[in-house]
Amino acid sequence: MNGLQQSPSKCLDNFQSVFKISRKTFEYICSLVKDDMMTKSAHFVFTNGKPLSLCEQVAVALRRLGSGESLVTIGDSFGLNHSTVSQVTWRFVESMEEKGIHHLRWPSTEMEMNAIKSKFEKIRGLPNCCGVIDATHITMCLPASEPSCNVWLDHKKNHSMVLQAIVDPDMKFRDIVTGWPGKMEDWLIFESSNFNKLCEKGERLNGSKLQLSGESEIREYIIGDSGYPLLPYLVVPYEGKELSEPKAQFNKQHLATRVVAQRALTRLKEMWRIIHGMMWRPDKHRLPRIILVCCVLHNIVIDLNDEVQDELSLSHDHDSGYHQLVCGAVDEKGVALRDSLSHYLTGKLSS
């Protein structure tokens, strides 16, 4: 096949349908990785000997990450050897890990955090909320002969790796953890995370408190589903069938706010389809870095106000077939915080 016949440049003509991002976003991504992609020693060429330009390399990598198609399929469609597709994609991933990581970070100023809290409060009234935590499984097809095969077997009998993310009201990822096997419970992954350790040391979720009437106050916190423990800085729903009206109402508002994380993870998998469905024998050392870069790209699309993303569906079934495991662990300060929130919301409803 002639490399020019269906070169990545040709894809740039029907741009948005192929890459699911605007040309502006594509050019910005090219600018981030330009130095790394063009100055290192490797010299990537089409099967006809023509060298790949920067745009063509980025197009190949985005096609691989965005379509989830095999190396051979992408290589054939572009006139490239499948090993070239693999090398170009990996060079792109390595570069984006470093050059794009500023798009995935915890808010660094009070002003930025206040904007997040304000947007969360506008959803369903939760005050001083700083994020929603959720997790999803990236499923893999592994050979049965692989020695570590059973390590990755989860309770659904799939081989999988977990991505745990804290999401803001704009569906941006603010903190992620990945690399753990799919059988690890959500609460154990959170417990071992750097984010949790910073919270325990008082170095995260330590900003301004909301003063209520009397001596009561509401600190900064994140929310999650029942797969997480109730902590002084992590609020989960009330458990039980016969809940009082205020508690049932709190759970409704809590759930409606959590939807942003479910939608973010769904959109991530819909847009970057390499991590959607069953991955064919991935390198488990490289996979966490590929997941991270997909999260960075997800955030870049939001940061650049890319309208193409608005055409994607807003479903929130990112983890089909996986049922909720209940953690049940409770911290007394968490109980007090949740009750204060419930009381505050009940007052707002009745006022």
In tens, the pLDDT along 217-234 reads 999 999 999 999 999 999
Q: Please name the residue ranges forming H helices in the chain.
A: 8-11, 15-19, 23-39, 54-67, 71-78, 82-99, 110-124, 186-191, 194-200, 245-271, 287-303, 332-350
Q: Which two tokens stand for residue 199?
A: 């919270």
In tens, the pLDDT along 147-161 reads 778 899 998 889 999
pLDDT at 4: 36
pLDDT at 351: 45
pLDDT at 321: 65
In tens, the pLDDT along 173-200 reads 999 999 999 999 999 999 999 999 999 9
In tens, the pLDDT along 332-350 reads 999 999 999 999 998 865 5
pTM of the model: 0.92
* Residue indicated by tokens 């984010």: 195
Mean pLDDT (the chain) is 90
Which residues of the chain register pLDDT less than 70?
1-14, 40-42, 309-317, 319-323, 348-351
SS3 279: strand
Burial (CB < 10 A; 0-12, 13-18, 19+), residue 238, is: middle
Quick check: 193 and 206 in contact, CB under 8 A?
no
pLDDT at 280: 82
